[in-house]
């Protein structure tokens, strides 16, 4: 399901299998179909950062009528500014542009959008915006925390109502640039019936009370700001290309999942248009017969999830989970909260894997992801059930995705794609993740390198001080915020 860019990365970066294991496992295991049957969608996985960026560029360049983009983060860095330049060129061709951004994640992009929002046919709205700009925003977050702690985490990218990208990637360097940092993430490009469903979700948010025009938040300056984009030559080269090769696409019956925007506004005066995404996902997970494979970079199995997962294992379902290790995560508090549940899961037979970091720190500070300075970080959010269906989207298995953020994604009922996730756990993770097991009432980490195998009795790579800090964080009453 991945394109030629992933092959080049495999050959050139074979030594960095930690980040590529996920991408390579998502290749198709059956012959693709060029045309989706009526009522189905064609899809292609974008596991390579370069493919993910250049597919978006190709989509913008192919646009003839309208571009609708919804994202949590848009950063005015090399690739973020590059996509904004492409949108400016599309607007100059007469293409209408609607850009729907989260105010917390995309606040820094407001100045960079100055030229784009001056163009005819361009509209930009921000979701759940702070009433203040500049440094005083911090005051707003202190005074109005209950509202502003709720964020739009959705990601979709729709062009001409015919082609869309949905998945885990925001818009910025850590999601698109390759080379020194291998950011393991996953999107799918889709055509067919799923696109109209994704557009309905976009319109629902666009027309909701939580979306405010940018011109109301930050009035347009009388004079255009000078645009000085950082190092555009470092962006991935995107020569003329098809948006997606029809011969490489597979088909699936699709179900688009999304929270309603009222999850942010907490407006209960009208019946919800959509069920909460947690309820939609639980319906997809309620009856696995053979296997359940979960990939979630932030994994906190509270609210009875541990009991449910162990119960599935007890009745013969093979339950497998991949999340970040302590040194690969960008959120130490999330890892601390997750660590409280590891032993019970492992003792209950659930297979736990933790994504490895690489040893060397990142030399380019532009490519740091939060507190992470590892070369490899897991950000993909996916799960597969019974080799029958697979989810790709923005939802993490954590309290923030359940209770605070709005999330979205797509279910693909396609056996080869679902099977590829299980195959990842059965072989592809040997070098790219630690396996966490229970032994004698304690946890051990299995570290594999080729045929060699080491059993570690302490969490890998942590100093005594870092271990102590994780224990302190684990007992703080903050899990509901993570």
Range among 46-60, 210-224, 399-413 with highest mean pLDDT value: 399-413
Q: Say whether pTM exceeds 0.85.
A: yes
Residue from 277, 300, 285, 296 nearest 405 by CA: 277
Helix (H, G, I), strand (E, B) or coil at 431: coil
Mean pLDDT of the chain: 86
Catalytic residue among 107, 263, 335, 379: 379
pLDDT in tens, 366-392: 444 444 444 567 889 999 999 999 999
Catalytic residue among 114, 160, 229, 267: 160
Among 158-162, 212-216, 221-225, 468-472, where is mean pLDDT lowest?
Answer: 221-225
Dig out the tokens for 14 from the structure: 């074979």
| Residue spans of beta strands (DSSP E) within 150-270 | 156-159, 163-167, 182-184, 187-192, 211-213, 250-258
> Catalytic annotation on 386?
yes
From residue 409, alpha-carbon distances to 86, 104, 155, 242, 463 in Å are: 25, 21, 8, 24, 38
Band of residue 8 on the pLDDT scale cut at 50, 70, 90:
very low
Look up tokens 């003839």; give the residue: 64
In this structure, the number of other CB atoms found within 10 A of the CB of residue 298 comes to 24
The one catalytic residue in 68, 77, 102, 153 is: 153
Among 107, 263, 375, 381, which one carries the catalytic annotation? 381
SS in 3 state form for 29-53?
A: CCCCCCCCCCCCEEEEEECCHHHHH
Supply the CATH classification number for the domain 252-481: 3.30.870.10
Is 335 part of the annotated catalytic residue set?
Answer: no
Tell me how far apart the alpha carbons of residues 300 and 284 are, in angstroms, rounded to a whole number. Answer: 19
Q: Looking at the predicted structure, is the pLDDT value of residue 273 above 80?
A: no
Percentage above 70 pLDDT, the chain = 87
Task: Look at residue 216 and tell me whether its pLDDT is greater than 50.
Answer: yes
For 4-30+41-231+241-248, CATH gives 3.30.870.10
For 109-167, write each residue's pLDDT tens digit.
999 999 999 999 999 999 999 988 777 888 888 888 999 999 999 999 999 999 999 99
Sequence ranges of the chain with CATH classification 3.30.870.10? 4-30+41-231+241-248, 252-481
Report pLDDT digits (tens) over 295-353: 999 999 987 899 999 999 999 999 999 999 998 888 889 999 999 999 999 999 999 99
Q: Which of these is catalytic: 107, 155, 356, 419? A: 155
Strand pairing partners for 443?
438
Q: Judge whether 110 counts as a catalytic residue.
A: no
Specify the DSSP element, H or E, that contains 19.
helix 17-25
Options 102, 386, 387, 398, the catalytic residue: 386
Whether 449 is catalytic: no
């Amino acid at each position: 399901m991945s394109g030629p860019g992933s092959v080049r990365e495999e050959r050139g970066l074979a030594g960095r299998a930690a980040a590529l294991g996920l991408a390579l496992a998502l290749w198709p295991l059956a012959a693709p179909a060029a045309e989706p049957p009526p009522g189905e969608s064609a899809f292609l996985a974008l596991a390579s950062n370069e493919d993910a960026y250049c597919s978006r560029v190709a989509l913008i360049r192919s646009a003839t009528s309208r571009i609708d983009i919804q994202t949590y983060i848009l950063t005015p860095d090399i690739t973020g500014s590059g996509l904004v330049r492409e949108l400016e060129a599309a607007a100059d061709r007469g293409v209408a542009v609607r850009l729907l951004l989260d105010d917390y994640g995309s606040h820094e992009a407001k100045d960079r959008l100055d030229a784009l929002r001056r163009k005819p046919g361009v509209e930009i709205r921000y979701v759940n915006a702070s009433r203040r700009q500049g440094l005083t925003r911090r005051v707003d977050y202190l005074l109005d925390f209950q509202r502003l702690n709720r964020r739009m985490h959705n990601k979709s990218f729709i062009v001409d109502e015919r082609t869309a990208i949905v998945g885990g990637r925001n818009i910025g360097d850590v999601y698109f640039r390759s080379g020194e940092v291998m950011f393991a993430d996953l999107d799918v490009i889709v055509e067919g019936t799923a696109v109209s469903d994704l557009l309905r979700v976009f319109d629902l948010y666009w027309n909701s009370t939580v979306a405010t025009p940018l011109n109301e938040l930050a009035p347009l300056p009388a004079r255009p700001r000078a645009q000085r984009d950082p190092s555009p030559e470092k962006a991935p080269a995107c020569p003329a290309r098809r948006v997606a090769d029809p011969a490489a696409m597979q088909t699936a019956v699709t179900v688009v999942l999304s929270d309603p925007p009222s999850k942010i506004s907490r407006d209960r005066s009208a019946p919800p248009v959509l069920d909460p995404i947690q309820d939609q996902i639980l319906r997809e997970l309620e009856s696995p017969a053979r296997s359940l494979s979960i990939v979630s970079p932030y994994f906190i199995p509270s609210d009875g999830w541990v009991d449910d997962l162990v119960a599935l294992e007890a009745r013969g379902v093979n339950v497998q989970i991949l999340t970040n290790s302590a040194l690969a995560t960008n959120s130490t508090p999330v890892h601390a909260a997750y660590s409280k549940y590891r032993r019970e899961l492992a003792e209950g037979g659930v297979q736990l894997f933790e994504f490895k970091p690489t040893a060397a720190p990142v030399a380019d500070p532009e490519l740091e992801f939060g507190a992470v300075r590892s070369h490899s970080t897991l950000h993909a959010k996916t799960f597969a059930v019974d080799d029958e269906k697979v989810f790709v989207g923005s939802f993490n298995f954590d309290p923030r995705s359940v209770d605070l953020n709005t999330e979205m994604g797509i279910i693909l009922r396609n056996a080869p794609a679902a099977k590829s996730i299980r195959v990842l756990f059965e072989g592809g993770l040997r070098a790219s993740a630690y396996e966490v097991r229970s032994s004698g009432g304690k946890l051990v980490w299995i570290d594999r390198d080729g045929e060699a195998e080491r059993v570690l009795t302490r969490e890998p790579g942590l100093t005594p001080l870092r271990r102590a800090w994780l224990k302190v964080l684990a007992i703080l009453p903050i899990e509901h915020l993570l």
